[in-house]
Amino acid sequence: MDEVVGVHGVVKRFGTFTALAGVSLTIGHNQFFTLLGPSGCGKTTLLRCIAGFEDVSEGTILLEGRDIARLAPNLRPVNTVFQHYALFPHMTVAQNVAFGLKMQGMAPGPRLKRAGEMLELVHLSAFADRFPSQLSGGQQQRVALARALAPQPKVLLLDEPLSALDLKLRQAMRVELKQLQEGTGITFIFVTHDQEEALTMSDRIAVMSAGEVRQIGSAREIYEAPVNRFVAGFIGETNLLPVRVGSIAGGMARVLLPGGHPLTCPAADAVPAGSPHVSIRPERMTLVPPGTGDLDATVDRLIYLGTDLQVQARLADGTALHLRLQNSARATPPEAGSTIGIVIEDGAARLLAD
C-alpha cells in the first residue's frame, strides 16, 4: 500500500459547531497534496488534527498504517510550516532550524551541520546568525520551511505559507516549494484558498466546503470534471445552467437546455437530486448567428480583458451566463443589446450533482 496518511471519518466539533463533518482521504508517498476551499471550510482544522494540535472528536488518522489521532503532537513524525511562521524570536536562524534536531537528541556538531545544509537548500546560508526579526517576510518563510524540513518528517504540513508574501515572491516560491517537495521526496499537505496556487502545484487536490471534502482528484480532473456545483463554481469560472434531465446511461446524460434544445453531455454517476444543472466553462462556447446554436441569448455587456473579451449575456428565462472569446482582429465582437447564438463545444458541458 502506497499510503502515507489515511484520514478516516474524522469529525471535529467545537462545542456545538461541527468544523469537520466526517472527512476521509488518503495521501500517497511523495505527493504534493493540497487542501483547497473557501475561508472557514475547515482546512486549518484538518491540518491541526493531523499535526496533533486539536483532538479529533471521532475518526482515525493513520500515518503509515499507525493510528496517531490520540498521540501528543511532539510524538508525531510530522512537521508544520505555520501560516505566520512562528519562528522562535530569541534564537538565531541556525538555532531555529536546529531546534527539532536538538529535541530529537542529535549532538551539537551534526545538528549545526545539518541546519547549515537546510539553510543552503533554502538559499539562506548567509543569514544563519541573524535573529528572525532581522529578516524579511520571505526570508522568515524560508527559515520556517528549513526548520520544518530539518528533522526529515514523514509528512510536512503547510498552512497557507505563501499568503503573507507579495505576488512576485509567491509565484517564485510556488516553483521552489514544488521543487523542494520533489527533491526531498517528503509528502506535503498544503493548505490554501487560492485555486491558482492549488492548480499549479498539486499532484492531488481535495476541495473542501463546510467541513466536508467535496471532491478529490488531480488539478485537471477537478477543473475539467467537477462532480458537483460547489466544485465547478469554486474552481475557475463557470456557467451553471438549469436543465431537465431525460436519461443517464453509461456516464452520459441527455438533457434539455433552457430554451428547449437537447444536449448529450458527460454526467456524474448518480442522478442528481433537486434541481440539476450543467456546468459550462466560459471559454468552451462559441458565437454563431441567432437561432443556429444550442442557446440564444441577449448581450448585456462586453468586458475587455486584454487577450480575451468577456461577453455577459442573458437567456430568455433570465439566466445569466458569460463567455470568453479570444480577442482577435478577425472576429467582430457582438454589440450590447444584440441577440446571439451560442454553440457549446463537444464535451464542454457536464451534468452536476447538487
Partner 1 sequence: MAGPAASGSAGTGYRSITGPLLLPTWVMIGIFLLLPVLLMTVYSFLTREFRGGVDWTFSLAAYDRFLLNRGLFGDEPPVLEWTYITIFWRSIWQAGLATLICLIVGFPTAWFIATRPAHSRALWLFMITVPYWVNLLIRTVSLRFLLRDQGPLNDALIGAGLLDSPLQIINTNLAVQLGLFYSYLPFMVLPVYAAVERYNFALSEAAADLYASRWTTLREIVLPVVRPGIIAGCILVFVPSLGAFLAPDLLGGAKTYMIGSLIEEQFKGSQGNWPFGAAVSVILMTLVLIVLMIYARAQGRAGAH
Helices (H), ranges, the chain: 43-51, 93-103, 108-121, 137-149, 167-184, 195-201, 219-224, 229-234
Among 151, 236, 276, 293, binds partner 1 (CB under 8 A): 151
Angle at the Cα of 303 (from 298 to 309), degrees rounded to 5? 90
Least distance in Å: CB of 13 to partner 1? 19
Examine residue 17 and tell whether it contacts ligand ATP (CB under 6 A). Answer: yes
End-to-end CA, the chain:
33
Residue 172, contacted partner among ligand ATP, Mg ion, partner 1, none, CB below 5-8 A by kind: none
Nearer CB in complex with ligand ATP: 39/332: 39
Distances (CA, A) of 345 to 122, 142, 256, 321, 342: 45, 45, 16, 15, 10
Tally of CA atoms within 13 A in the half-sphere of 96 that contains its CB:
28
Q: Coil, strand, or helix at residue 231?
A: helix
Examine residue 88 and tell whether it contacts partner 1 (CB under 8 A). Answer: yes
70 and 54 in contact (C-beta within 8 Å)?
no
Least distance in Å: CB of 159 to partner 1? 10
Q: Which residues bind Mg ion (CB under 5 A)?
A: 44
Task: Output phi, psi for 96, to 5 deg.
Answer: -60, -50
Examine residue 214 and tell whether it contacts ligand ATP (CB under 6 A). Answer: no
**Residue 310 contacts by C-beta under 8 Å, 6 or more apart in sequence?**
282, 302, 303, 304, 322, 323, 324, 325
70 and 242 in contact (C-beta within 8 Å)?
no
According to CB under 6 A, which residues from 181 to 200 bind ligand ATP?
A: 193
Which three cell numbers, joined as nine digits, stand for 188? 506535503
Nearer CB in complex with partner 1: 13/84: 84
Residue 51, contacted partner among Mg ion, partner 1, ligand ATP, none, CB below 5-8 A by kind: partner 1
Least distance in Å: CB of 9 to ligand ATP? 17
Among 16, 74, 307, 332, binds partner 1 (CB under 8 A): 74
Among 55, 66, 120, 134, binds partner 1 (CB under 8 A): 134
Nearer CB in complex with ligand ATP: 40/137: 40
| Interface pattern 180-219 for partner 1 (x via CB under 8 A) | ----------------------------------------
Least distance in Å: CB of 233 to ligand ATP? 17
Instruction: Give the β-pairing of 32-36 and 187-192.
Output: parallel
Burial class (CB in 10 A: 0-12, 13-18, 19+), 68: buried
Nearer CB in complex with ligand ATP: 114/204: 204
Residue 134, contacted partner among ligand ATP, partner 1, Mg ion, none, CB below 5-8 A by kind: partner 1
Examine residue 270 and tell whether it contacts partner 1 (CB under 8 A). Answer: no
Among 32, 33, 99, 234, binds partner 1 (CB under 8 A): 99
Residue 193, contacted partner among partner 1, ligand ATP, Mg ion, none, CB below 5-8 A by kind: ligand ATP
Q: Coil, strand, or helix at residue 198?
A: helix
Nearer CB in complex with ligand ATP: 37/258: 37
The label of the residue with cell 467537477 reads 226
Nearer CB in complex with partner 1: 62/164: 164
Least distance in Å: CB of 100 to partner 1? 4
The label of the residue with cell 475561508 reads 39
